[in-house]
């Protein structure tokens, strides 16, 4: 489950009739998006972003949190409560407590939460009678027993309690993304318009199917994609749960040093560690923009394959937030004819994608 930073701004949770809250929420989303392009607004007053991305650069999580709090103060003049934990449910609870849960500590943290944190009055009342008072005690009930006693919706909540799902149903305001997009459209009327007539019917059907699927597979089961700004395929492809707000990075902005197409049609959400070796079996490095030797073999998941062709490295040094991030990409063709995109960063090699 992804480690998330949750930012809770209590003064932005209540909507005002004049639309001021909505407008300020959008402003803050854009400002946070500059710090981390993966920032999303979960619902009014609650923002989330992956903890891994900016941490490396700010030199530790506490520096990230300070930068985020400062951004909230400077943009909307309000105080934020910030928390870090795995999955949106635990991250929001951590924000309420103003707590940074240590990596690996999310399970214990989640289990210690009072049952009311799950936000279901029906569940709390019945569970109390069973002597169940914490999320952990509820998680320990067998799923079959939960299915017997509670509604199907509670079954999903149970999976959240067990740490199988990251977020609660209803934790996210599904319509907010659309409303903010509309607000953006009012500001920038040239952007893409909604659908009309036949297209509207098509969209309504697709939405209904997506909703059905989300009920079946959970909040992260259905995903939509967008091309955003960036230099590398892994940066430029944005995947987010269906109905989450669109990413703010502008794909049209100039990104010097962008890797040219073709681009791998499979791009690993989590790059896999690999080893790239020369003919003598030595590890390869990139020095001053050049490979130390020609790659002869690649080892992925314990399997060694022969490399028959390579190109690159294409280095990219980025002012990624504050500190520079040095990466280089290399294209490989293997003996079997498959082509791969790999990347080296701080001396370690990763499989980025496959040209399937």
Partner 1 sequence: MFASSPRPRLPEALAAAVRPVALAQTRTFSLVEPWNDLIPGGSLRRGGTVAVVAPPGSGGLSLSLGLLSAASAESHWAAVVGVDDPGVVAIADLGLDLRRTLFVPRPGGAWAEATADLLEGVDLVLVRPPTRVSTRSARALGDRVRERGAAMIVLGAPRTPWPSPTDLSLEVVASRWHAGSRLEGRTLRVRITGRGGVRPVEREVTLPDRRGRAAAS
The only residue of 152, 260, 287, 288 in contact with partner 1, by rule CB under 8 A: 260
Helical axes 121-129 vs 152-161, angle rounded to 10°: 80
The only residue of 261, 301, 302, 347 in contact with partner 1, by rule CB under 8 A: 261
Question: Nearest distance from residue 210's CB to partner 1, in Å?
Answer: 6
Decide whether 112 or 265 has the Cβ nearer to partner 1: 265
The only residue of 311, 317, 322, 323 in contact with partner 1, by rule CB under 8 A: 311
Decide whether 196 or 347 has the Cβ nearer to partner 1: 196
Q: Which residue has the tokens 């506490």?
A: 62
In this structure, what token pair is assigned to residue 333?
């063709």
Per-residue string for binding with partner 1, 263-302, x by CB under 8 A?
A: xxxxxxx---------------------------------
Question: Nearest distance from residue 202's CB to partner 1, in Å?
Answer: 6
Question: Which of these segments, 59-67, 120-128, 129-137, 204-212, binds partner 1 (CB under 8 A)?
Answer: 204-212
Distance, CA of 351 to CA of 265 (rounded, Å): 13
Q: Which of residues 214-233 bind partner 1 (CB under 8 A)?
A: 216-217, 221-227, 233
Distance, CA of 351 to CA of 344 (rounded, Å): 9
Q: Return the closest-CA partner of residue 15 out of 26, 30, 29.
A: 26
Surface-to-core class of residue 187, CB atoms within 10 Å of its CB (0-12 exposed, 13-18 middle, 19+ buried): exposed
In this structure, what token pair is assigned to residue 283?
């590890």
The only residue of 212, 294, 317, 322 in contact with partner 1, by rule CB under 8 A: 212
In this structure, what token pair is assigned to residue 138?
């509820």
Question: Which of these segments, 33-41, 114-122, 196-204, 287-295, binds partner 1 (CB under 8 A)?
Answer: 196-204
Q: Would you give the DSSP letter of residue 275?
A: E
Residue 46, H or E segment: strand 46-50
CA distances (Å), origin 322, targets 57, 58, 319: 6, 7, 6
- Does position 316 interact with partner 1 (CB under 8 A)? The reply is no
Q: Which of residues 236-255 bind partner 1 (CB under 8 A)?
A: 236-239, 242
Decide whether 69 or 174 has the Cβ nearer to partner 1: 174
Can you give the binding site for partner 1, defined by CB under 8 A? Answer: 192, 198-199, 202-203, 205-210, 212-213, 216-217, 221-227, 233, 236-239, 242, 260-269, 309, 311-312, 331, 333, 336-339, 353-356
């Amino acid at each position: 489950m992804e480690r998330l930073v949750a930012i809770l701004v209590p003064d932005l949770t209540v909507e005002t009739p004049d639309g001021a809250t909505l407008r300020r929420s959008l402003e803050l989303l854009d400002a946070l998006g500059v710090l981390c392009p993966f920032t999303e607004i979960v619902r009014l007053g609650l923002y989330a972003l992956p903890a891994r991305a900016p941490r490396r650069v700010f030199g530790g999580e506490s520096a990230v949190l300070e930068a985020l709090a400062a951004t909230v103060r400077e943009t909307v003049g309000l105080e934020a409560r910030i928390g870090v934990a795995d999955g949106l449910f635990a991250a929001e609870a951590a924000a309420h407590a103003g707590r940074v849960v240590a990596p690996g500590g999310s399970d214990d943290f989640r289990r210690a939460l009072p049952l009311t944190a799950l936000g279901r009055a029906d569940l709390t009342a019945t569970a109390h009678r069973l002597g169940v008072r914490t999320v952990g005690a509820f998680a320990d009930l067998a799923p079959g027993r939960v299915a017997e006693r509670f509604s199907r919706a509670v079954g999903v909540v149970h999976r959240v309690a067990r740490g199988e799902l990251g977020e609660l149903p209803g934790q996210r305001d599904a319509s907010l993304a659309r409303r903010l997009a509309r607000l953006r459209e009012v500001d920038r009327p040239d952007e893409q318009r909604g659908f009309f007539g036949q297209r509207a019917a098509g969209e309504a059907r697709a939405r209904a199917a997506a909703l059905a699927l989300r009920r079946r597979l959970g909040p992260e089961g259905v995903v939509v994609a967008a091309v955003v700004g960036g230099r590398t395929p892994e940066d430029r492809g944005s995947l987010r749960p269906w109905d989450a707000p669109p990413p703010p990075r502008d794909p049209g902005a100039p990104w010097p040093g962008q890797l040219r197409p073709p681009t791998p049609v499979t791009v690993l959400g989590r790059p896999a560690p690999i080893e790239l070796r020369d003919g003598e079996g030595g590890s390869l490095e990139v020095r001053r923009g050049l490979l130390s030797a020609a790659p002869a073999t690649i080892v992925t998941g314990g399997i060694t394959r022969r490399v028959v062709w390579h190109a690159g490295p294409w280095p990219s040094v980025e002012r990624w937030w504050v500190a520079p991030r040095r990466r280089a990409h290399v294209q490989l063709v293997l003996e079997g004819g498959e082509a791969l995109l790999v990347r080296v960063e701080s001396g370690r090699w990763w499989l980025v994608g496959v040209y399937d």
